[in-house]
Amino acid sequence: MSAPRVDLHAAVDRLVGGKLLIFPTETVYGVGVSMRHPAAAEEIYRLKDRPRSMPLMMHVRGPEAIELLGRAVPREAFALAEAFWPGPLTLIVEAAPLVPRDFLGGGESVALRAPDHAGLRALLAELATREGQAAAIAGTSANPHAAPPPTDFASACAAFGARGPAVLDGGSCGVGVASTVLRVDPEHFEILRMGVVDAEAIAEVVGRRPQLV
């Protein structure tokens, strides 16, 4: 038995109500909850059997979220967001006080990404009308820890079996490869996970090449 399917309006209702949702991105399907419900972070960790030391990502609408959810952010982060968002680049910056620490895995940084998927962008836009411009979905890939992430609706529904949360149908993910994760703060400019956006593309925007760690 697999998780149930929901439409856009029901998906927004779930998020506003503090419930988990499986949703599409252009890379893989994710599972998450509205940032306004930090107590639900524990549900994500339990569902995935994910170590609590691993932070969750904030799925946001666009570059304006950097000013709301980050602080002491270098100019390079804004330039990269303008160049690659919406798209498969995750920026790790120092977290603003607005970001609940329950999502940060014990750290002080937050991972931000504006996915390039029409269904998820519509979801985030509708969520913002209900929760304000700082609306974000805290989440991670919709798979048990260390298992392959789902890249289509059917596998997303089956990822956790009957115990999985409802799924917003976004069809097949257009990219199917995880986003590049780039840490950008006053002391670091480094790729923590290589994905679609490579170091050369990043260097073309900001004039320097990030380290690969």
Residue 74: CATH number of its domain:
3.90.870.10
Q: Is the pTM of this model over 0.75?
A: yes
**What domain range includes position 126?**
5-212
Q: Can you spell out the DSSP letters for 117-132?
A: -HHHHHHHHHHHHHH-
Residue 175 has what pLDDT? 87
146 sits in the region (left: phi over 0; alpha: psi -120 to 50; else beta) called left
Report, as ranges of residue numbers, the positions in the chain whose pLDDT lies below 50. none
The neighbour count for residue 148, using CB atoms within 10 Å, is 11
Residue 176 has what pLDDT? 77
Residue 59 sits at the vertex; the CA angle it makes with 172 and 123, to the nearest 5 degrees, is: 65
Residue 1 has what pLDDT? 63
Give me the number of domains the chain comprises.
1
Contacts of 129 (CB under 8 A, 6+ apart): none
The neighbour count for residue 118, using CB atoms within 10 Å, is 13
